[in-house]
Each structure stands twice: as C-alpha cells, then as structure tokens.
Structure 1
Amino acid sequence: MHSRSSGRGCVTTMKLTQYIIAGLAVISSLLACDPKPEVTPEKPGLPEQETGTGTTTEIGQPLGSLVSKTIGPEGGTITTADGKVQLVLPAGALSKATNITIQPITNTAPNGIGPAFRFSPDGLQFAKPATLTFAYTDEMVTANDVDMLKVAFQGENKVWQNVAGVSVDTQTKRISAPMAHFSDWSAYEIAYLESFVVYSGGRTQTEFVQYGETISLGIYEDLIIDDAVQKVADEKFGDIKDVKWSLAGAGEIKKSQSAKGIFYVAPKTGKDRIRVTISAEITFRKSPKKLILVHPIYVGNNYVEVNFDGNPTRVYSRVNLVSSNNQVWYIEAGDREDDYLSLAVFGNAAGKFPFGNALKTESGISSGYYNQGNYAYRTHFACVADLDRGIQIMDGSVVVDEYVKGKIARGTFSGTLMKDDPEQDCPSHKVSISGKFFLTPE
C-alpha cells in the first residue's frame, strides 16, 4: 500500500507532508480549466492522460467472474454483475463491433479503492473518449470528499498513471473518469487513515482490536501525480497546519509524538463486539480548506470478516479457532451448514500459506471451503469427466500475521474459489473471496 518511487519531472508518489497539498492543487487547477478534453491531431477529442515513469507495482490477479458484451460503432454500455463499475462508449468510439470484457482483479494501486478492473481487448484505443464510473460506499473510503478521490490506470510497464478530468458525486457516491484506452484501471484515495497494532512479531494493519488493547493510527497519503504541480501546491496551500483528533464511542485517544498520529485505547473489558469511529480534522497553513478523515475501529474478540463474490461484507461473530495435535489449525465461521467457512492452515507460525492439496503435502499450505446456500465453494476441485487431471488447486492464500498455538490467530485470506456444482461433471464457475480473521479461544 505504501509503495514509493522518486524522480524529477515524472509521475510519482509524493512525500508524506506533500500528498494532500499537491492533490488539492491539482484538483483546483483542473476545476479552473476548460472542462472539454484537449484535442490532438492524432486522436481528436481524446483527453490527455498523465505520462511519466511513476509508481510501479505488480499487476493484479483475476478475482471472480468477468463480464463481456459486444459493442459496435453505435456505442453502448457494459456494467459489472454487481453494478459497481460501468463503462459507457459513445457512438463513434469504435470503428467495428468489438467484444468488450471487464475482469475484476486484485488492486495493487497505491491506496486503491475496492478491486481494480482489467478492460479488454488490452490496449484498445477509442476515437472518442469513453466514460468509466466506479461506485463506492462510505465504508470503502476514509473521506467522502471530491478532492480526495481519483482514478489511475496501469500501463504495460506496470506504472500507474493519474487520469485527468475525474469527477466525483458525493451524493450518489460515484467516481467518473474519461477513458481513452483499455488497460487495468482503479479508483484510489489521496489521503487515508491507517490503523495497526504492534506485537511481538512486528506490526499488522487492522481495524480490529481486543478489549484492553491499544492501536495506533496515522495519516498516510498516496498520490500518483506529476511533480510539476509541487511548487504551485506549496505556494497555494502550504504544509499541514494542525490535526484535531476526535473519538465517537467507548475507549479513549492519547496523543503521540507526531500530530499526524494518535493512539486509541479500547475499554478494558466488554462482552459484545462494538464499533467506534476516529476522526482527524486537518487544516492547512495557506488555505481555509479543511479535510476530515474518518476511520472505524471494531473492538472485541473472535470474528471473521468475509468479502465474497462482490457481495456486502459479512462479519461472523460465531467463530472458532480449532487446533489439532499436529501442525494443522482451523479458521471456522458460522453456525449453519448453509452459511459456513472452514479454512485449514498447515503450519504453526506466521507466514503465507498458499492454497494447496492436503492429500499431497502436510505443511506450508491452506485448504478449505465456504458453504453458501445449496453450494460449497472450494479451494480445490476435480473433474469427474477427466479424473486423470487429478485435483486442481485454485489461486489464493491465507496470510497469518500472528499465531500462537491455542492462544491467538490473526491475519487475512484472499483468492478464488470454485463452485462445487453436482450438475456439472467439470466445475467452471469461479468466485472471489477475501477477508480478515482475529481469533482467540473462548
């Protein structure tokens, strides 16, 4: 999330105290300009995209099912199955009928919002700009602020480039941007609050804490932007002047050495899982602009958070941490057979455990299933029509940040599961899953 790169006159991720300022300057300059896209002789009517060497990350990996639609010169609209991403191609954007696909992928953009999306055919150029719109929720962003929400695309060189001309509707919660070509695209935030806990093995980012635990919060800013605006930003906004922290809910906040950080101390005892909210009101030295960042914290032991196939996040409080006599332990969530998660982790230490075949190896992997309704979705599958292929393993892993046998398990999981459909000899329906877990014995 905090990738950094440096350079002069290029697209890059700016230093901590400059991100918000530079971002506001860019937005202001965009609003002051003619909203019509610049016209170039090569591609009339297309908006210019930011260029430069910029922030480089690995490319995202597929998550769940793609959608496809054939759109011709008359134009058309394609929307993801969950309705959260929409692409509108005007008449004249394409010269011939083209099969358009949208594939959700893991988001590697600096502070990307939700999944990123891969648009194909890769590299397809439009004669007229298309309009790409991302839907978001309050839970997905730190600030529902037009100045803080942007869009970027990742080129073939793995570099993320900022997109000019982004518009944000904070009422309908939509982020729209002109699209000149296909590649991997993502909405992202300029500024956000991050919370993390420190423990014996290091630290981990989390919104979950136990009763009596202290969690640290800090202001971080990631921005993909051209260095040329830096001088203008400094002159117009100046540095951050002050940060006022506030707490809504139980517990208390304590100052840290930096104004950009705070400590939240959860109540010493409690029975139920509770939600509190931390807010940071930021003011600037040379601007009356105020920015308010909001971050939720969940207090209480034993829960598993699941994001499944684009559906709203589920948080299970009926969970178990089950340890066996050997090197295997289990993450279990749910109390009904038709709504139940079970992930086995083969190892007694922190680390990354990719999905694997439990029949062939006894260490370093994870394996399991998620029951939803009448179907099980598994980390592995076999084709009845082609048994010679053997068991096939899906892409994914369980990442364990902290594990003490019989005492605590904390971490994340993500990947793709295969729908176990008895009507199909060889299953083919893949769905995405991700989540967090924080488990202690009852």
Structure 2
Amino acid sequence: MKVLKLIPFLFLGVFACQTPQDIDPNDPNAEQPASEKGTPTEVGQPVGAAFSQTIGPEGGSISTPDNKITFTFPAGAVSKPTPITIQPVENKAFVGIGLTYNITAPDTKLNKNAEMTLHYTPEDVEGAAPEVLGIAHQDQEGIWQSRVDVKVDKVNKTVKAPVSHLAHWAFYEQFFIECDKKEVASVEQVKFVVKFPERRTDAKPGDPYGDLMPLSPHQIISASRVVRRTINGVTDGSKEGDNYANVGQITEDRSLAKATYTAPAREPDNNPVAIGAEIDLKQLGHIILVKNVRVESGANLSINGSYDANPNVMLTVNGNKLQGAITDSTGLKMISFSIEGFHGDGVYGFGPNGGSQIIARISQFTIGTHGYYNDRAEWISGKATVTISNYKGKERPMIGKISGTFFRGTSPFSASAKFKAVPAVL
C-alpha cells in the first residue's frame, strides 16, 4: 500500500516559492497563483435513495448498494448508537470522480476520523491515475476543501481517505489528461492538455479539520512538467514494428502541457491507442497519465475479388482539386484518383478527356484504367464514380465511396472502396 501526500509537497514546496520560468504570468491558461478562498460550486442534487445504518461506540461500516464506496467508522468515532444517513448526490467538485455523498446524523460530531474508500475501475480514472486522486468536502459556502492524506492500494484497486466530519464528501482528480475526442477517423487529430486544480498555496497545519486547501477550476500545467509523451507506453510512439505509420504521431506545444495526436491512415492493430504523458511531481517522482483514443477508419477496399477491411486512406484538397489514395495493407493494391473542379459533396465521374483521373492497381506492375478506346475509336467507359457524402472542410472527416469497372487493356474487373478520413487541406 502506498501513502500519497501529494498536496503539501507538490503545492507548498514547489509553487509557493517560484513561478515556472517558461510560462507567461499574464497568460490566463498558464499556472497562476490560486485563489485564497477557492471557487464555490452549486450543491449537487440527490441521486437515488438515501441509505442509513446505526453505528455504535464500537464502530462499523456502511457501504453503497453497489459496494463502490465504503465508509468505515472506527471505535470511538461516536459516543452512542447513532443512525448515520448517506445520501448520494451529483458530484460538483472540479473533475469529480463518481458521486458525492452527503453524510448526516442528528446532533452528532465525529470524535475520530471515519474513512471513505473508493473501489475504483480503470474507467473511473481514465486520463488520470489513482495516485492523483484527492478527496474534498463542500463547505457551507459551496467551496470544496481538499485534504492532503490519501492512501492508494493498486493491488486491491482502492483509494482511502479520512472523513473528518459530517458533510458532502467526494473524490476528485488532482492531475488528469483532457481531450476533445475519444473516437477519431483516419488522420483525424485529437487535442490533449494536462491539467491540475488551481488552489491556495498557503495552508498551514492547524487549519480547521486538518490541512485543508480550497479548490478552484483546473488549469493547464507548464510544459516543463511533462517529461515525455508516449503512444502505447512507448516514448514518441515508435519502436521496432510499431512506428508512426501504424500508431499515429504526437506534436507537442512546448510552452504549455498541450499536445496534438494525429491518427494513422488506417486503424492500428492495437485499438484503442493509449496516449500518455509522464508528469514530474518534483519530490514525489513521476506519474504517467493515460487517455485512450479509438481510431475508426470506416474504410474498405475491394479490387478484382481481393478485399481489405482496413486500408490506408490519404486525401488532399488543394483549392478546387481533390486527390486520394486508398491502399491495402501490402501497399500493392490501390485505387487512386484526382478530381478537378472539386466543390464538396456530390458525385464525380471520369471521362476520356479532362484533368480528372482514376486508376485501380492490382499489383506492382498491373494498372487498370476507368475506360478505353476500342478499335473503332469509341470510348468504352467503366462508369467509375467518386461520391463524396460528407465534406465539412479542414480538420473534419471526409466520407465517400468509389465504384466502377476498370480495364486491363480491354479486360474488365471491378473495384470499389469506402473511406472516411480527414483530408489535408492546402
């Protein structure tokens, strides 16, 4: 079991004496001194029915019906048999985990701290880590007062923290990754930021109920705190057999803890992709925060009876010209096209003349065209078309399909494709 005392070391020892050197103090997104009083939030509304149990001087425990949360009262916490009621309510704490629990008892004050235990799942801490969970109660002014003493047990997947008095109590994330999407198309981008809760840095021992610190909204941390970025646990996402081409790429903002992940041109073999950031907690060492992103290509490729359910898709829009290539995993079979006069959604055909062209490649040296002239100089068309059903411009996925007949000389073969990917807009 690991005892985590994150707040006093991290926020008192690090931030009280210095401002990060690579941050503009006038930037509202940078690490700034926190509000001394914290920022109030509304009180959450009840969620479901309350539950209660009588706790005597010998102590006891109360669990939620799903056993997600357990409150343990040690011997001597109350002086006489006391009915204690727990009402689940909405969690309005900044980046709260699960529900808030309002603990009440008539005319009662705890003589000893109780203990609140969270039985967490990976989904509960996605984008964060159990080591960075904190606990706080909401005071009468609506301000969340956080405690400094949290115990993490990764083996049993529990987080425990003291409950000093009867109030609204909730767990929250002290550091976490925030992203704008959890599912992306091929070559689509996801923006990531690493945040922590703005808070006071002058709490002193002897404050009521212990070393409490009022919380304010989370803000972006300094880039100097990010040691490295990872994809699937590997720095920069590259290693033998697992490079940018099949897992994507991370581009960092070196002034703040922001980054952009660009998905690969096809669905990766390991999906979802785990995007990580290793954070330096100074005296407490390093932690790795992880956020999962699923890449859904929505593409397929069929050429002359050969089918690929997960081809590479590359699209480019340059003015009124659309170019695309849908390639199988071997890189040998492909449909590529170039459309002049591109104007967004619609059906685009290909004639014997003009700038628009489309071909289907069967192998390295065998290419099929969309039509041919017969021996009477008549154009025989395979009626190949590219249909664009969704184009919203830059940074948005384009959806389309390709169909038609192609020819090796005069021998026909069928080829078709579906695609969904973000085009490069030049």
Residue pairs, 1:15-414, within 5 angstroms: 24-25=9-10, 53-121=37-105, 124-141=108-125, 142-144=127-129, 146=131, 148-196=132-180, 206-222=181-197, 224-228=199-203, 240-248=224-232, 250-256=247-253, 258=255, 260-270=257-267, 274-283=271-280, 289-300=285-296
2:98, 2:73 → 1: CA distance? 23
Deviation at 1:87, TM superposition (A): 0.8
Q: 1:298/1:124 Cα in 2 relative to 1: closer, same or farther (>3 Å)?
A: farther
Structure 2 letter corresponding to 1:173: K
Determine the C-alpha separation between the residues in 2 that align with 1:214 and 1:256: 14
Shift of 1:191: 0.7
Q: Tell whether the 8 Å contact from 2:9 to 2:283 is kept in structure 1 after alignment.
A: no
Describe the SS at the equivalent of 1:227. coil
TM-score, normalization: structure 2? 0.50
CA distance in 2, matches of 1:123, 1:272: 60
Partners in 1 of 2:88 and 2:105 — Cα distance? Answer: 14
Aligned to 2:207: none
**3-state DSSP of counterpart to 2:164:** strand
Task: After TM superposition, give the deviation of residue 243 of structure 1 in Å.
Answer: 3.2
State the distance in 2 between where 1:272 and 1:154 align.
45
TM-score w.r.t. length of structure 1: 0.48
2-side partners of 1:224 and 1:268: how far apart? 42
CA distance in 2, matches of 1:298, 1:124: 50
Q: Distance in 2 between matches of 1:407 and 1:125?
A: 62
Percent identical pairs in the alignment equals 34
Q: Which residue type is aligned with residue 134 of structure 1?
A: L
2:260 is matched by which residue type in structure 1? F
**Contact preservation (8 Å) 2:77, 2:113:** yes
Partner Cα separation in structure 2 for residue 273 and residue 139 of structure 1: 18
Any conservation in 1 of the 2:94–2:197 contact (CA below 8 Å)? yes
- Structure 2: 5+ residue runs without aligned partners? 15-35, 205-221, 233-245, 299-389, 393-426
Q: Tell me the distance in 2 between the aligned counterparts of 1:256 and 1:240.
A: 11
> What is the alpha-carbon distance in structure 1 between the residues aligned to residue 288 and residue 9 of structure 2?
14
Structure 1 counterpart SS, 2:274:
strand
Distance 1:223 1:186, change over 3 A: farther
- Secondary structure of the equivalent of 1:25? helix
Q: Which residue in the other structure is 1:386 paired with?
A: none
Instruction: In structure 2, give the amino acid aligned to 1:213.
Output: E
RMSD between aligned residues: 3.6
Q: Per the alignment, do residues 182 and 191 of structure 1 end up closer, same or farther by CA in structure 2, a change over 3 Å counting?
A: same
- CA deviation after TM superposition for structure 1 residue 301, in Å: 8.2
How far the C-alpha of 1:295 sits from its partner, in A, is 1.1
**Contact 2:278–2:289 under 8 Å retained in 1:** yes
Aligned partners of 2:184 and 2:296 also within 8 Å: yes
Counterpart of 2:93 in structure 1: which amino acid? A
Structure 1: runs of 5+ lacking an equivalent: 1-19, 30-51, 197-205, 230-237, 303-405, 409-442
The alpha-carbon deviation at position 228 of structure 1 amounts to 4.4
CA distance in 2: counterparts of 1:265 and 1:132, whole angstroms: 40
Residue 132 to residue 213, structure 1, CA distance change in 2 (3 Å): same
Describe the shift of the 1:97–1:294 C-alpha distance in structure 2 as closer, same or farther (beyond 3 A).
Answer: same
Shift of 1:143: 4.1
Q: Check 1:291–1:124 CA distance in 2 against 1; reply closer, same or farther (3 A cut).
A: same
Contact 1:106 1:115 in 2 (8 A): yes
Alpha-carbon spacing, 1:188–1:27, altered in 2? closer, same or farther (3 Å): farther
**In 1, Cα distance between the equivalents of 2:292 and 2:137?**
29
| Whole-Å separation in 2 of the counterparts to 1:271 and 1:240 | 30
CA contact (8 A) 1:214 1:263 kept: yes
- 8 Å CA contact retained: 2:248, 2:263: yes
Q: Matches of residues 424-439 of structure 1 in structure 2 within 5 Å?
A: none
Measure the CA separation in 2 of the matches of 1:124 and 1:299. 53
Give the Cα–Cα distance (whole angstroms) in 2 for the partners of residues 125 and 224 of structure 1: 28
Shift of 1:99: 2.3
Query: Residue type of the partner of 1:294?
Result: V
SS of structure 2 residue aligned to 1:240: helix
Change (3 A) 1:96 1:22: closer
Q: Secondary structure of 1:220's match?
A: strand
Which one is further off, 262-271 or 159-168? Answer: 262-271
Question: Distance in 1 between the 2:68 and 2:90 partners?
Answer: 15
CA distance in 2, matches of 1:288, 1:74: 37
Contact 1:122–1:183 (CA under 8 A) maintained in structure 2: no
Equivalent residues of 2:12, 2:201 under 8 A apart: no
Gap change, CA 1:100 and 1:128, over 3 Å in 2:
same
- Cα distance between partner residues in 2 of 1:253 and 1:61: 40
**Greater Rg over alpha carbons, structure:** 2
User: How far apart are 1:28 and its partner, in Å?
Assistant: 8.8
Counterpart Cα distance in 1 of 2:274 and 2:268: 19
Offset of 1:167 from its aligned partner?
1.9
Alignment partners' CA distance in 1, 2:111 and 2:280: 43
Residue deviations 1:373-414 (CA, integer Å, cap 9, x gap): xxxxxxxxxxxxxxxxxxxxxxxxxxxxxxxxx999xxxxxx
